[in-house]
Amino acid sequence: MHRTAVKKVVLEGVLDANEALAQANREKFDQAGNYVINLMSSPGAGKTALLERTLERVRGRLRLGVLEGDVQTTLDADRLARFHIPLVQVNTESGFGGECHLDANMVRSGLGELPLSDIDVLVIENVGNLVCPAEFRVGEDTRVMVYSVTEGEEKPLKYPLMFRSADLVLVNKIDLLEHLDFDLELFIANLEAVNPGVSRMLVSARTGRGVDEWCSWMERRKPT
Amino acid sequence: MHELSIAESVVQIASRHANGRRVTKVWLKVGHLRQVVPSALGFGFELVAEGTPVEGAELELENVPAAGLCSNCGAKSQLGNFPLKCGACGGFDLELLSGEELFVESLELEEV
Ligand SMILES: [Zn+2]
């Protein structure tokens, strides 16, 4: 048998398939009138605690829904269940290599469980990871990153892809500042170096500092 | 790791375009700013390709350097590591011209 090789030009973006699904999600959100936040962080930055404080405050003012992407347990979702909000958890372990982030298809699979028309702001709580979620759009309006002061000042320089993609950075656990050797100015300078002019707020899920500001930020974006 | 997700997507794209033929080589363009670790991607590619028409194919990465146009002085320069800055004046306000590529450029297919 004679074999020959041919070269075929493809020019297809590695993320094109995900982008198309993200666009489809986007259309669903627009139809339902949702403002969608892709909430990202490293593990243990305090996303869920911050969401708890947020839900306590916006109750009655803003109809919040949460799509939760969690790897190991249902623990995070359990913590939010007491608020009786539209809440769905997406299993990220189904895809091979897909356990480190939510992609547009995983988000789509969870949307059927959510009453989108009863939601003003949908928070998509991404998997705690500083690399992978940055690559995958899920149909969000904005990307908010929760960063803990316990993570040190250098992370923006080590993970620029993620920090560059954020529209707002919530600098969390700010109450710990006096106990830590964390140079806030240096962190901000590093953040500015990869994402000039990015918005940021200093918050503490423990003391509640800055949570009102963050809630107002969300309320201003509630679709009318 | 994101290399594994990228590998998965590359194998899917290559399998689809192969139309039942065997893929012997894949050329992938990767922008410098994508922070892809070539060895991790190569490893992931081999793993994911198993049992597909792409199994055993060679993966050739072409690194695309990052380049930017400075809004301050108008110079075009190659960009290194973060913070990205103009090679001429040191300014940070840049329009990215390249460095964010991530696409399958072409495939080598076996015709029987
Ligand atoms: Zn310049």
pLDDT in tens, A57-66: 999 899 999 9
**How far does the CA of residue A181 sit from the closest CA of chain B (Å)?**
23
What is the Cα Rg of chain A in Å?
A: 19
Residue B32 has pLDDT above 70, yes or no: yes
As its CATH architecture, domain B2-109 has 2-Layer Sandwich (3.30)
Q: What is the mean pLDDT of residues A177-183?
A: 94
What is the reported pLDDT for A139? Answer: 97
Query: B102-111 and B22-31 as β-strands: parallel, antiparallel, unpaired?
Result: antiparallel
What is the reported pLDDT for A1? Answer: 57
Cα(A162)–Cα(A170) distance, integer angstroms: 14
Q: What is the mean pLDDT of residues A76-97?
A: 78
Cα(A184)–Cα(A160) distance, integer angstroms: 18
CA A9 to chain centre: 35
> Across chain B, where does the E strand assignment appear?
22-31, 58-64, 66-70, 76-79, 94-98, 102-111
> Which tokens hold the place of B1?
């790791």
Q: Which residues of A touch B34 (CB under 8 A)?
A: 161
What is the reported pLDDT for A187? Answer: 97
Write down the pTM of the prediction: 0.88
Cα(A116)–Cα(A139) distance, integer angstroms: 14
Please answer whether residues A27 and A36 qualify as being in contact, where contact means their C-beta atoms are separated by less than 8 angstroms. Answer: no
Q: Which residues of A touch B10 (CB under 8 A)?
A: 14
Residue A77 has pLDDT above 60, yes or no: yes
- Across the strands, what pairs with A125? A39, A68
Q: What is the mean pLDDT of residues A95-122?
A: 86
Q: Which of A40, A35, A54 is nearest to A212 (CA)?
A: A54
CA A14 to chain centre: 21
Q: What is the mean pLDDT of residues A25-37?
A: 97
Say which DSSP state A152 is in: -
Between the CA of B88 and the centroid of ligand 1 the distance, in Å, is: 5
Residue A91 has pLDDT above 80, yes or no: no
Residue with tokens 């990307």, as numbered in its chain? A143
Cα(A122)–Cα(A113) distance, integer angstroms: 13
Query: Of the ranges A96-105, A171-180, B1-10, B33-42, which is most confident?
Result: A171-180
What is the reported pLDDT for A74? Answer: 58
Residue A75 has pLDDT above 70, yes or no: no
Residue A73 has pLDDT above 80, yes or no: no
Domains delineated in chain A: 2-220 (3.40.50.300)
Residue A8 has pLDDT above 90, yes or no: yes
Q: Which of B1-5, B82-86, B96-100 has the lowest mean pLDDT?
A: B1-5
pLDDT band (50, 70, 90) for residue A43 = confident
Q: What is the mean pLDDT of residues A142-151?
A: 97
Q: Which residues of A touch B29 (CB under 8 A)?
A: none
For residue B33, give the chain A residue with the closest CA: A161
pLDDT band (50, 70, 90) for residue A71 = low
pLDDT band (50, 70, 90) for residue A161 = confident
Please answer whether residues A169 and A145 qualify as being in contact, where contact means their C-beta atoms are separated by less than 8 angstroms. Answer: yes
Residue B59 has pLDDT above 90, yes or no: yes
Residue A215 has pLDDT above 80, yes or no: yes
User: From edge to edge, which strands make up the β-sheet containing B76-79?
Assistant: B76-79, B66-70, B94-98
Q: What is the mean pLDDT of residues B22-49?
A: 94
What is the reported pLDDT for A165? Answer: 92
Amino acid at A88: V
The yes/no answer to whether this complex scores an ipTM above 0.95 is: no
Cα distances (Å, whole numbers) of residue A174 to A75, A171, B72, B98:
24, 7, 36, 37
Q: Among A3, A4, A6, A10, pick the best mutation site for testing chain B contact (most B Cβ within 10 A).
A: A10
